[in-house]
Amino acid sequence: MTGSRGKLFARALAAAAGLSLMAGVGAAEPAPAGPSVEALSFNCYTCHGPDGRSPAAMPSLQGKHADYLLRRLLEFKQGKGHPTIMDRIARGYSDEELADIAAYIAAQTPSTGERR
């Protein structure tokens, strides 16, 4: 029994290693110690659309200035402007991470070239 459990464990480990390898593919630079700014920003895209370009009612982030994005994020962190969810999200990041995310998102260009 121990043998087959060991095999299962080894397979799970191999799968996990494969996943983390896949996560590394497509990153522009080698990942730093913490999650990359790209990975942090992907959390935002679940609501704000791919590359921050929202197709629906959610405000788009794409095309907005890094300074503007950072100011809004810091305001959310302080609970300003009656946010529904962004205050909770912004509090999960350090000011430095928010600045990195704002800069990263602001650097993304629209993939289609259509009006933002």
Binding interface with ligand HEC (CB under 6 A) = 43-44, 46-48, 58-59, 61, 69, 72-73, 83-86, 89, 101
Give the DSSP letter of residue 52: G
CB of 25 to ligand HEC, least distance (A): 22
Q: Decide whether 53 or 101 has the Cβ nearer to ligand HEC.
A: 101
Long-range contacts of 60-63 (CB under 8 A, 24+ apart): 60/116, 61/105, 62/105, 62/108, 62/110, 62/116, 63/110, 63/116
- The owner of tokens 């990195």 is 100
CB of 18 to ligand HEC, least distance (A): 27
CB of 5 to ligand HEC, least distance (A): 38
